[in-house]
Amino acid sequence: MSIRLEKPWQALERLDDLPGHLGVFQLGNADGEVQFIGYAGGRSQYGLRSAIPDAVANVATATSYRLEITAAYLTRYQELLMVHQADHGRLPSANDPVDNLGRLSPA
Amino acid sequence: MDLSLSEEQEMIVGMVRRFVREEIVPLELNLDPDADTLAPDDRARLTEKTKAMGLYGLGIPPEFGGPEIDLVTRTLIAIEISQHRAGLYAPCYGVFGGAGLAQLFEATDDQKERYLYPTLRGEKRGFFGLTEPSGGSDPARAIQTKAVRDGDDWIINGGKIFISGADKADYGLVFARTDKDKGRNGVTCFIVDTDTPGFHVRRVVHTLRSAHYATELQFEDMRVPASNVLGEVNRGFAIATDRLTSQRIPYAAGCVGVAIKAHEMALEYVPQRETFGAPLSSRQAIQWMLVDNEIDIKQARWFTLEAADRAQRGESFRKEAAMAKLVATEAGGRVVDRCMQMFGGYGVTKDFPFERWYREMRIRRIGEGPSEVQRHIIARDILGASLR
């Protein structure tokens, strides 16, 4: 498994197809830049099916999404944040600062 | 050995039990089922409470500011603070504090100033770097990370895996081979600052613990001053084994605590749940599961407290710690599995903590030395020289 989420972006028009599983996701803008990283956890009402639309409603620049189904949603979420931080020197613009985020230096 | 609790122990255990049930469990209703951290405000508030209770920093020796509480009582507390959803790996979410890296209590004065005291003040974090991709159960032979002396420094090359907290740490204890011909007598422990050039956290290692990851580390020509050798050169393995042995007691205690909580939940549930017109508790199959739980828990608790008692009295406890770890981790797994079975479909949902305990308890039979290694330690102790 790649440590980066490298699946192709999906248009927001396809939100009806979202699975109800637990997992992580990214929202991108029109230039394919990651705007937000989120997850659908064990308390989400309908898994990714509800977590992604909820996030889209709060990220005005979001035009696309991509997701990964995983039961390890918390560690994968932290990993994606750390990788983004390592690649770009900052978190995605729509993510709040994360208390005590780890530091990765991916090869 | 008398395992009845003294009046003071009864009082402390009761106080901790109330704390877990009144302060921790209610918070978990609003946390992610896999969470292992509290909101900062809650954490600060509850930490103040444990300090007021005189129970903060249980693993810290009194001369370094820890409470004057003996090891058996600390083990009883460890059994209590694990009795909630996150309790196996994040007992009370850390609000009772920790000892940091106990090996640093034996550090030089200079090392204590730079690493131990800032850790105890909560200003620095450390990690313990022993296991390598070549193996973790036989670290004396598996350690391939090399340290070569260069003037006043050592140059370290190699890597570690399954290391917790390295990505958030300010420093770590790294075990490296300093003499390739001397086996366990050729390993040295270094205190390594994580901002040292050549120190890399390469990736997250996802496990059954879905809220907490391990990391893989790589060291590339990492230069560490000789003043950062912990203990003596080529004597690092003793530091590692001391830690591994003593860690087995609280490790076992956590399993006992979770098993007690799971069993308690099953005892509440089976008289209420009816099948075919009668409560589950009337079924012999269920009764036998509960009986087996009782026996498993009693046995594991006894072994764990006996190991703590021997350690407290200054006697050799290597065999007893291995037995406690072996018995408690395996018994804990069986108890959680039975309770999950009694809860049926609900048992495997995230509405209840069993599925989390089931995943995390499985790790316990491997972490801190797998069951097979514990049996090896016990056999070596029983057979002595004739084993070799």
**Alpha helices, DSSP H, located in chain B:** 7-19, 25-28, 40-52, 71-81, 109-111, 117-120, 139-142, 236-269, 284-312, 318-343, 354-364, 371-383
Q: What is the pTM of this model?
A: 0.92
Contact flag A42-B203 (C-beta cutoff 8 Å): no
Q: Do B33 and A78 touch (CB under 8 A)?
A: no
Q: In terms of Cα–Cα distance, which of B168, B98, B69 is closest to B126?
A: B168
Instruction: Mention every residue, 6+ apart, whose C-beta is less than 8 A from residue B351.
Output: none
Query: Is A94 part of any domain?
Result: no
Segment B223-246 mean pLDDT:
90
CATH class, range B7-103: mainly alpha
Question: Other CB atoms closer than 10 Å to residue B335's CB: what's the count?
Answer: 30
**pLDDT score, position B244:** 79
B294 is an active site residue: no
pLDDT band at B21 (very low <50, low <70, confident <90, very high): very high
Rounded Cα distance between A100 and B122, Å, is: 13
Q: Catalytic: which of B132, B306, B355, B368?
A: B368
Average pLDDT over residues B2-13: 92
Domain spans of chain B, in order of start: 7-103, 126-230, 238-386
Backbone angles phi, psi at B314, to 5 degrees: 80, 15
Q: In the predicted model, is pLDDT for residue B117 greater than 80?
A: yes
- Average pLDDT of chain B is 93
CB distance B201–A103 less than 8 Å? yes
User: Searching chain A, which residue's CA lies closest to the CA of residue B350?
Assistant: A42
Is A80 domain-assigned? yes
Q: At residue B32, does pLDDT exceed 70? A: yes
B205 CB-near residues (< 8 Å, 6+ apart): B161, B162, B213, B214, B215, B216
CA distances from residue B24 to B200, B248, B256, B372 in whole angstroms, order as listed? 36, 25, 18, 35
| Cross-chain CB nearest to B168 (options A41, A102, A107) | A102
Tokens of B370: 């797998």
Burial B157-172 (b: 16+ CB within 10 A, else e): bbbbbbbbbbbebebb
User: Given an 8 Å threshold on Cβ–Cβ distance, is A82 in contact with B215?
Assistant: no
pLDDT at B245: 83
Domain that residue A76 falls in? 10-88
Integer Cα distance of B233 and B149 in angstroms: 11
Asked whether this chain's domains B126-230 and B238-386 adopt the same fold, the reply is no
Residues of chain B with pLDDT > 90: what percent?
Answer: 81
ipTM of the complex: 0.86
Do the Cβ atoms of A42 and B206 come within 8 Å?
Answer: no
pLDDT(B99) > 70? no
C-alpha torsion sign, points B190, B195, B200, B206? positive
Residue B210 has its nearest CB partner, among A43, A74, A105, at A74
> What tens digit of pLDDT does each residue of B318-368 get?
999 999 999 999 999 999 999 999 999 999 999 999 999 999 999 999 988
pLDDT at B231: 93
Mean pLDDT confidence for B179-195: 93
CATH of region B126-230, choose from 3.90.1580.10, 3.40.50.150, 3.40.190.10, 2.40.110.10: 2.40.110.10
Within a domain: residue A99? no
CATH number of B238-386: 1.20.140.10
The domain that holds A59 is classified in CATH as: 3.40.1440
**Chain segment B247-293, per-residue pLDDT in tens:** 899 999 999 999 999 999 999 999 999 999 999 999 999 999 999 99
For chain A, percent of residues with pLDDT exceeding 90: 84
Total domain count, chain A: 1
For residue A53, being part of any structural domain is answered with: yes
Tokens of A37: 């990283």
Task: Determine the pLDDT at residue B388.
Answer: 55
Number of CB pairs < 8 Å for A and B?
Answer: 62
Q: Residue B183 — very low, low, confident or very high, per pLDDT cuts 50/70/90? A: confident
Q: Which residues of B touch A101 (CB under 8 A)?
A: 168
